Structures are given as structure tokens and as C-alpha cells.
Structure 1
Amino acid sequence: MAGKEECWLPRSARSPGVARQLLVGLLARVSGGERFATDGLTVLTELTANAVQHGSPRGRQVWVRLDVDADRLLIEVHDASGVPPELREVCAEDEAGRGLILVKSLSSQWGWRPRGDQGIGKITWAVLAPASDASGPRQGERNAEG
């Protein structure tokens, strides 16, 4: 089980949806890919929306790279801004600002790095572990025998 997808997306409010379609297609072609779907779609949406809204000036595009195998899903979103993503403290009344909190809570690892020799801007990335088998006990729970 392994697969990769990558594509350029315009600076558009539609780009997170296009990125989700790319991930859905990739996970459908990969055995066991469905284990990454729920959290992967949320994380990809947040990273792509942030890149479109905050990371890419007009006329620039966003590069999305997806890489999945049996143990992990890697999501990379490249944008043209060198400004690091920043986790913010939010209040209950805030209408925005929770995206990176979601990314952090759903990912086993996440971060960013400069694009370096790949051009201007940065790469924001997240690594997700597969969801547990729904038929087995959840982490911390015991089955009927133990």
C-alpha cells in the first residue's frame, strides 16, 4: 500500500475542495486508505485554506503534495510566503483561528520549513497515523476478556 499525488492549485476559495478531491481519489486507490480519510481531509482542508488565505499573494499558486503508505499519511502544502504558521490562543467568541489547533490535535507530527532550493516561501506539513480499526477496542479501553 503506497501512493502519491501532487498538484498546483490557484489562490482560490475553491482550492481546499479540489485538494480534498485529490486526497479522496488517492485514498480510494490505496489499500487501507480509508483509515486516513476523516482526519486527513480535515488537516488538508485547514493547511490548504491557510495557504490560500495567508500564504500566497495574488498571482501565486499553492502546491499540494500527498504521500501515503500503510503507516502514515504525509500532507505538504507549499506557499509563497516565508511567514511561519502560528498557533494562536482563541476565545470562545472568536470566529476563526482554530485551524492549526485542529492540525496539531489530529496529526502525530506537524510543522513547517522554508522551501529553500525549491523556491520562495515555505512548506507546512503534517503526518497522520491511520485511524484505529473501528471493530477493536479504543486506546485505553479493554475488551470483554481483559
Structure 2
Amino acid sequence: MPDPTQQYFTAKPESVGQARDFALTTLDSWGLSARAQDIRLCVSELASNAVVHGSAPGHGFLVKLEADDDFVRLEVHDSRSHRPAVRHPSGTDPSGRGLRIIEEFSDGWGVEDRLPFGKVVWSHFKAKETPC
């Protein structure tokens, strides 16, 4: 399988699109397009969270992708240790659905501490789609 790859982004709104492009380009180069749109959506949500909630002033975020025969793992590293939690917003709340999207489109996710500070929010995806 391919070597893991990562890219650092500054904590600004336009970096979210750059992170999505990085993920799609990487997956395409690895020949792993089966779940590319699900992963793209999750990159968008996790990168947005890193920009809005996870990056301390002067810090950005890191997107890392790795793959083996079974799974693609997406990680977003940021500089704040506050752990995100799944929310259940009402229909009129303008935000709060990001981690529910991650739950829906990935095959698992979690949060780990990052040293010397911050956290890693990860999700993984079956590398191949299973037939219905």
C-alpha cells in the first residue's frame, strides 16, 4: 500500500477547499476512488471544525491520509485539546451537524490526544465498497 501522506494548512476558510483537493488528489493517485466522495465530505467537515474550533491563534491544522488493503484512515490534527462531541441540533439550528455527518459517511471515528498539545480527530473508511 502507499506511504501515508500529510499536508499542513493555515487556519483560514479557504484552506478547507484546499484540504478537500489534497484528499481527492491523494486518493486518485492511490487508485482509491471508491469512497472518495465520502472521504471528501468528511475532510470538509473536520477541516472546517479545525478552522473554527480547533486551531489556536497562529496555528493551523494537518490533514493526514493513510491506507492499507482494508481501510483508508483520515486524520485532522489541530492545536486545541477540546474534544468534540456529537450534537443533536434542532431543525432551525444553523450548525452542529458535522460529527453526525462523520458518523453517517465513515465506518468509524474517534478523537485522540496529540503531543505536545492538541488533538487528532480521525475517521476510517472501508477501502472498497461492498456489494449490496
TM-score, structure 2 normalization: 0.92
Aligned-pair distance for 1:3?
A: 4.3
List aligned pairs for 1:34-49, cutoff 5 A. Answer: 34-49=33-48
Q: Distance in 2 between matches of 1:129 and 1:3?
A: 17
* Change in 2 beyond 3 A, CA 1:103/1:37: same
Cα-to-partner distance string for 1:60-115 (whole Å, 9 max, x where unaligned) = 11011111233211011111111001111111111111010000111111010110
Based on CA coordinates, which of the two structures has the bigger radius of gyration? 1
Aligned residues: 132
Cα RMSD (Å) = 1.5
Q: Determine the structure 1 residue equivalent to 2:124.
A: 127
Q: Are 2:10 and 1:13 equivalent residues in the alignment? A: no
The answer as to whether partners of 1:73 and 1:128 remain within 8 angstroms in 2 is: yes
Aligned-pair distance for 1:29?
A: 1.1
Q: Distance in 2 between matches of 1:8 and 1:132?
A: 29
Q: Determine the structure 2 residue equivalent to 1:69.
A: 68
TM-score, structure 1 normalization: 0.84
Aligned amino acid, residue 127 of structure 1:
H
Q: Distance in 1 between matches of 2:113 and 2:30?
A: 30
Aligned amino acid, residue 10 of structure 2:
P
Unaligned runs of 5+ in 1: 139-146
